[in-house]
Amino acid sequence: MSYIVPIIVLIIVCLQIYFFVMNVHRMREYKKIFEHESSWEIEHSPETGFVSGISGDGNKVFRSIKESISKYLGSNSGSVIDFHLLKDAVDRHCDAVENDINTLTPVPLYCGLAGTMAGVIIGLGSLLETGSITALLSSGSGNFGAAAEGVNDLLQGVAWAMLASICGIFFTTVGSILFKRYKLQGESGKNTFLAWLQAKLLPELPSDTSDALSKLVKNLNKFNNTFAENTSNLGGALKNVNESYRIQADIIKSVHDMDVMKMAKANVNVLKELKECTDKLEVFNNYLNFRK
């Protein structure tokens, strides 16, 4: 029985350390959400020129914030954007991390209380097992050794259990102090990001319906000018194609106008002359062979 309580307390302390380290990691993640201010940029649609999202480096929380804002801006490109919805997206993701930290902070304390209760229960079980309770309650009993042994087990269990409670109080207190400091840094980064949205993003977004229509007309005019230029270039290309077709038509017409029968008769005459020349060439070849 004397070895059970220290083992349980050791397991609980390990759990406390695990939850404390995990909570500190979460706190640092909260602190570094808006760490890379120099990488924040505004993205524009290449077709319309409207704002389509934001970009920047950061941890997974910042990437979630960036995706939410970019999705909202992309779905409402050219429309009036409500800044409160952008701020709500930032607060929603930050609050999720903060709630997670607040949930993990008191866990070491709860583990310590659980260890204390386990030590007391095991100590009382030792009293019942050894019969120390009966010895203590029996008036005039001389079995003080058994009673002392049971009380000793109870006190040892309570002492070990209090160690788990002290560790829980220590980790919880340190976690609360660290989160207070990290939260100030995280809130400072969030305020910087919101100020960047107000200073850089909002001026490029339409503030009302007339502004949105004005930007829409501007982009339509730009599109019309580009379309007119492309149409003019296409007209020149079609003109060249038509000229090529005209030349081909002239060639085909010239070939069609040729007297095919005259060409055939001329070819026959050429073949006849070649045939007569063949006989003479053979006689000339024999003469050359004779001369040799």
Q: Per-residue pLDDT tens for 97-107?
A: 999 999 999 99
Place of tokens 């949205």: 197
- Sequence-separated (6 or more) residues with CB below 8 Å from residue 230: none
d(CA 119, CA 167): 15
pLDDT at residue 31 above 80?
A: yes
Return the structure tokens found at 262.
């005259």
Give percent of the chain above pLDDT 90: 27
Would you say residue 192 has pLDDT above 50? Answer: yes
Contacts of 2 (CB under 8 A, 6+ apart): 153, 156
- 9: Cα separation from own chain's centroid: 41
State residue 119's pLDDT score.
Answer: 78
Average confidence score pLDDT of the chain: 79
Cα 240 to chain centroid distance, Å, stands at: 50
Q: Can you give the pLDDT at residue 277?
A: 73
Please report, for residues 44, 45, 57, 146, 205, the alpha-carbon distance to residue 213 in angstroms, rounded to integers and kept in the order given. Answer: 18, 17, 33, 93, 12
Residue 154 and residue 127 in contact, taking contact as beta carbons nearer than 8 Å = yes
Q: According to the model, what pLDDT value does residue 21 have?
A: 94
Identify the DSSP state of 187: H
CA–CA separation, 290 vs 229, rounded Å? 82
Q: How much is the pLDDT for 105? A: 92
What Cα–Cα distance (Å) separates residue 159 from each residue in 78, 136, 165, 166? Answer: 68, 21, 10, 11
**Is residue 146 scored above 60 in pLDDT?**
no
Could you tell me the pLDDT band of residue 139, with boundaries at 50, 70 and 90?
A: very low
Residue 92's pLDDT is: 92
Top pLDDT among 241 and 112 is at 112
More confident residue, 116 or 218: 116
Prediction pTM value? 0.62
C-alpha 131: how far from chain center: 64
For residue 62, what are the CA distances in angstroms to 13, 31, 91, 166, 173? 33, 11, 11, 36, 28
Q: What is the Cα gyration radius of the chain?
A: 47
Percent share of the chain, pLDDT over 70:
76
Across 2-11, 42-51, 190-199, 203-212, the highest mean pLDDT is recorded for: 190-199
Could you give the CA distance from residue 29 to residue 183 in angstroms, rounded to a whole number?
10
CA 257 remoteness from chain centre: 72
Q: Does the structure show a pLDDT above 90 at 289?
A: no
* E runs forming strands in the chain: 41-44, 51-55
What count of other Cβ atoms lies within 10 Å of the Cβ of residue 283?
9
Question: Is 28 strand, coil or helix?
Answer: helix
Mean pLDDT confidence for 236-245: 74
270: CB partners within 8 A, 6+ apart:
none
Residue 151 pLDDT level (bands cut at 50, 70, 90): low
* Residue 207 pLDDT > 80: no
pLDDT for residue 286 is more than 80: no
253 vs 83: which has the higher pLDDT: 83
How many CB atoms are located within 10 Å of the residue 31 CB? 21
